[in-house]
Structure 1
Amino acid sequence: MLFLIFGMSIYTTAMSVSFLYGLKDVIHVFQFFKEALVLSLLGISIYTLKARPKFGLIDYLIFGYLAYTMLYAILPIGEQSFFERLIALKSMAFYIVVYFTGRLFDIRKIYVNKYFNYIALLTIAAGAITFFERLFNLNLQSISGYADYVYYFFNFEPSGNYGLSWTFESEGGYKRFGSFFDNPLEHAAATLLALSVIIALYTRDDNKFKPNTTGLLALGASLLSITFAFSRAPFISYFFVIYIYALITKKTFITKTIHYTILAGVCYVAYIISTWGNKVDGIMEVIINTIDFSNPSSIGHLVAWVDGINAMIQHPFGLGLGASGRVAGTLGETVGGENQFIIIGVQGGIIALTLYLAIYITFIKQGLKWLNLLKGKERKICLAVLLMKIGFLIPMFTSEVESSSYISYMNWFLSGLFIATIMQHTAPETTLAHDH
């Protein structure tokens, strides 16, 4: 957990700085360290099992997805080499291995409050760095060696007005800030993860939200981060998570406030459009161009979606691993992309996409089902996983969320812990122990 929280979040920045100081040979070793750590922990968990675990529907769905995607890596399907297919498999399905690492871990050995507090502290640190980035109008990645590192290892040439990539800027010349994360998109997604964890940490069993000073600072830092990461889908999702949380915990004041805010926002945008027409600039230009899909980013998403959907229609069993996503982008031969679901569908076909969607939907259903049945740390894990799954849903339509190691590993390790928790209880009707 310590490595996932503190090591994975600064992973790319640490590698960039190492490359900057000429330690590229060391980077080759550390690039596989996280996978080796996960596999080692999984092996230890399997070796120390005292009884055969009880598996449920979601376990079998995940087994099926892993086996199916591994088949695409082993068989000569698609135009990519065996090595390239293995790299694509790591991006497409290694998080399933992370899931089983959490799934087979002894829940009693996890001090949930302690590690969730560490995530809150990490959020405060990320917010503080974002504040100074904005204050000096300077991306941390501009001085960490990020551009050279990404070009050397992933073949992505520097682009955009700031010598990093177009990800670091938005329409209208607004600079996006990534703090110590890989890029602003990962920063925004990490903020959604942090928000889910902070809410779960400070929500009591009676649904009362009682944050301490650290919690309030973390919430403030998360709002600062999501604002200056300036990524539209995660920004919307940030408030969507709060809205869903308010609904499931029956916090009517929050839900009514959000309703009135949305109504006021719609009226204001309508007024701006009717009064000024196309003569708008600044933030309003970004908002209006997003709504009518006239900005280059939105058009790019639509074009990528259409290409991906056409590829799935023409090749329902997929084009093979590495045909879409990060590996394909590195080779300059990507089909579709910029959508987690389409990326899976283009590579593994309709069956792989159906399995992934079934897993995702089942997690949300299980989270809603067990939320009011669990207590203490078990309930905190349940609520955190439920809000994470909901929070990542919107960004998945505009990015490959699972390609971020920090987001993916944290998400799926906690997901495994959640399923391990509920499988300890044979039926929902069972009286559940209060484990604080």
Structure 2
Amino acid sequence: MLFIFPLIFLTSFFVACREVVKGNLQGILVFFIFGLSMYTTAMSVAFLLGLKDFIPIFQYFKEVLVLSVLFLNIISLQYRPRLHLIDYAILAFLGYTFIYVILPIGEQGFVNRLMAFKSTSFFVVIYFTGRLMDIKAVYVSKYFNFIALLTIAAGCVVLTEVIFNQHLQSKTGFAEYVYYFFNFEPGGDFGLSWTFQSEGGYKRFASFFANPLEHASATLLALAVIIALFNREDNKFKPNGVGMLALGASFLSIVFALSRAPFVSYFVIIYVYALITKKKYITYTVHAILGTGALYFIYLFTAFGVQKGGITEVIMNTIDFSNPSSVGHLLEWAEGLMAMIEKPLGLGLGTSGRVAGSLGENVGGENQYIIIGVQAGIIALFLYLWIYIMLIKTSLKWLPHLHGREKKVCMAVLLIKVGFFIPLLTSEVESSSYISYVNWFLCGLLMSIIMKPQTEQLYPANND
């Protein structure tokens, strides 16, 4: 049965390629959603089945497809699109970080710097793939429904994992694949990696995603998309049967991924949605739940104390940052901040993040912002933060003025960016292909929506 994962990966890729060749460029989203969500699991099973020689080819499917669609978008342009300040900032980030590839900054060789550059800045290519696409050519509801269906599938897998108390990754050859290709040795009590377990011996489940952190972050993206999909023009939330199942599956996923930052962000997304749509009953409910929860845990701590190995210990140690995971985050943050203070222009690409981790020379990882700052300095970090904040601000500004599919995209981008802000503090979210590709493609699509009227004003003769 495990062969189904590489089969889905390959099928989604060839279906996307077929659509792109036919001129239906939106078909790339089929691969983003179904192929990239289970990318690591598909590669692990392929490795297990003895296809390790083909894996390096499979690994570049995503980049080749994105670059191809971007190229087709560019050559099919009838006129030069008018750029937004966010577009210029994103291009500036790409150009600035590319300087760190060319110049011999840091101890990494050119190839490692190039790999780190791709990991850090390829989101720009994905962004402009969406930015140069016409919203009229994208069936938004169709692909948002695909994400809802994917969420249900992820929930079914994680429920199976919980029932049998066994990680899917223990059967897929995950540990062997990661060690062979990325030089990460198995760790933790379950022979996978430390991310698959939590304090107190609790298992953290990843469904068919790369790890529990990616599973949790993907759930945040799914929640934002589900809300945007079923939010009506009058801002009433009316999910159908699939929507209700997807919401239930998302809650199941966020609970059993057992990742603290995404768990908080899950409710932040709901709360922000309630605020922007003026749903007072949701905001009051959230306030009541928070208050009741706080009183309940105060009662637990007062009546029973912090019981060793219990859930109260996990919660208390999280609050006071005394558990190993939180201490690890603090140490990594401190190391990264000190590196930025000592070298404000950065230590060079490949000194922090996923590439550095595979080389065993990581400085201040486990924080997307710090990873960028350590490698390319405070200028690159400022650009990234400015882009991030401006996307939230722009989404808030335009949401009341958009309708239909355009409003769905705007709502999704707003909630995704709000939801990811906290997890970015504790993980390298951009290293997940599925999350990064879907996230930045939608951001580009939103800016295409916003700037299209201004572009058409410049070229009225080309506006049919």
Q: Deviations over 1:141-178 (max 9, x none)?
A: 00001000000000000111111000000000000110
Distance in 1, matches of 2:313 and 2:240, equals 38
* Contact 2:175 2:185 (C-alpha < 8 Å) held by counterparts: yes
Deviation at 1:282, TM superposition (A): 1.8
Distance in 2, matches of 1:307 and 1:226, equals 30
Give the equivalent residue in structure 1 for 2:378.
350
| TM-score, normalised by the number of residues in structure 1 | 0.97
Aligned residues: 427
Give the equivalent residue in structure 1 for 2:283.
255
Letter in 1 for 2:340: M
Give the equivalent residue in structure 1 for 2:347.
319
Distance in 2, matches of 1:83 and 1:311, equals 23
Question: Which residue of 363, 379, 404 corresponds with 1:376?
Answer: 404
- Mark the runs of 5 or more structure 2 residues left unpaired by the alignment: 1-28, 456-464
Give the equivalent residue in structure 1 for 2:68.
40
Distance in 2, matches of 1:275 and 1:292, equals 19
Distance in 2, matches of 1:371 and 1:81, equals 45
Distance in 1, matches of 2:165 and 2:124, equals 39
Give the equivalent residue in structure 2 for 1:195.
223
2:154 counterpart of 1:164:
no
Give the equivalent residue in structure 2 for 1:224.
252
Letter in 2 for 1:417: L
**Equivalences for 1:248-327 in 2 at 5 Å?**
248-279=276-307, 281-327=309-355
2:369 counterpart of 1:334:
no
Give the equivalent residue in structure 2 for 1:390.
418
Give the equivalent residue in structure 1 for 2:170.
142
Distance in 2, matches of 1:109 and 1:131, equals 37
Distance in 1, matches of 2:238 and 2:309, equals 40
Distance in 1, matches of 2:81 and 2:103, equals 31
Q: Deviations over 1:72-131 (max 9, x none)?
A: 111111100000001101110101110000000121110001010000000000000000
- Mark the runs of 5 or more structure 1 residues left unpaired by the alignment: 428-436
Distance in 2, matches of 1:279 and 1:62, equals 49
Deviation at 1:426, TM superposition (A): 3.4
SS at 1:341's partner residue? helix
Distance in 1, matches of 2:308 and 2:188, equals 24
**Equivalences for 1:203-214 in 2 at 5 Å?**
203-214=231-242
Give the equivalent residue in structure 1 for 2:461.
none
Give the equivalent residue in structure 2 for 1:103.
131
Question: Which residue of 85, 108, 115 corresponds with 1:80?
Answer: 108
Letter in 1 for 2:168: L
SS at 2:286's partner residue? helix
Give the equivalent residue in structure 2 for 1:409.
437
* Contact 2:306 2:316 (C-alpha < 8 Å) held by counterparts: no
Letter in 2 for 1:49: L
Distance in 2, matches of 1:371 and 1:93, equals 28
2:210 counterpart of 1:182:
yes
SS at 1:211's partner residue? coil
| TM-score, normalised by the number of residues in structure 2 | 0.91
Name the stretch that deviates more: 189-198 or 274-283. 274-283
* Contact 2:158 2:207 (C-alpha < 8 Å) held by counterparts: yes
* Contact 2:261 2:426 (C-alpha < 8 Å) held by counterparts: yes
